[in-house]
Amino acid sequence: MSDQTIWGNDLYDTLVEEGVTLFSYVPDGGHKVMIQRSLDDPRVRSVPLTTEEEGVAMAAGAHLGGIKAVLLMQSSGAGNCINMLSLVANGQFPFVCFVTMRGTFGEENPWQVPMGLAVRPALESIGVVCLPVERPDEVAMTARAALAMAYKSRCGVAVLLSQKLIGAKAF
């Protein structure tokens, strides 16, 4: 487990540098630093969502309007997004999300395991490219790769932040 105050801040700064001005999130402990930075930063807008699929649709609307958005969510939220991702696939919308993983490495809450295992096959089956990250020094470069791919190859990209990176929770 690494220090989120380092990679989280680094990731946030990278996203803003790359032109992201709209953040949306359903909270997770692994996104705590990024969420707080986005709420405190007058340069960006940060929208708390009620359910994750709203963030997929909002990012598409943001792209129609000419700004860059990212969605922050936990692995359980990836399942909520599946049908809404048909919008990304059909419209060839750029879409970038950061998924903090549960249920995969050292998970102690059995209820997190099924969706944790399903994240990658589910996202890939609806056309979203998954880029897993396990080391803190790979976070920012993966974010850049995700944005480049989403906006230039016009597709959905999910950066999967592993439990090796964020740590496994006991509950």
Partner 1 sequence: MSSPTLHRRAVLKTAFAKRGDALAVSGLGSATWDLASLGDRADNFYLWGAMGNAAMIGLGLAIAQPERRVVVVTGDGEMLMGLTAMTTIGARRPANLAICVLDNERYTETGRQPTATGMGTDLAAVAAACGFPKTALIRGEAEIGTLGALLFEAAGPIMAVVKVVDEDLPMAVPPRDGGYLKTRFRIGLLGETAATLP
Per-residue DSSP letters for 23-53?
EEE---GGGHHHHHHHHH-TTSEEEE-SSTH
Both structure tokens of 163: 């439990």
Minimum Å distance from CB 136 to partner 1? 28
Q: Which is nearer to partner 1, 22 or 160 (CB)?
A: 22
| Distance in angstroms (rounded) separating the CA atoms of residues 133 and 68 | 22
Q: Between 113 and 148, whose beta carbon lies closer to partner 1?
A: 148
Question: Does residue 82 sit in helix, strand or coil?
Answer: coil
Q: What is the CA radius of gyration of the chain?
A: 14
H or E segment to which residue 77 belongs: helix 75-80
- What tokens appear for 24 in the block? 């949306």
Our CB check for partner 1 shows the closer of 59 and 161 to be 59
Question: Smallest gap, in angstroms, from Cβ of residue 44 to partner 1?
Answer: 11
Q: Closer to partner 1 at the Cβ: 19 or 114?
A: 19
**Nearest approach, Cβ of residue 113 and partner 1 (Å):** 26
Q: Name the minimum Å distance from CB 125 to partner 1.
A: 16
Q: Which is nearer to partner 1, 65 or 121 (CB)?
A: 65
The least CB distance from residue 65 to partner 1, in Å, is: 3
Question: Which letter does DSSP use for residue 75 in this model?
Answer: H
Residues in touch with partner 1 (CB under 8 A): 22, 45, 47-51, 53-67, 69, 83-84, 86-87, 90-94, 151-152, 154
Residues 96/71, Cβ–Cβ less than 8 Å: yes
DSSP, residue by residue, 108-121 = --GGGHHHHHHHHH
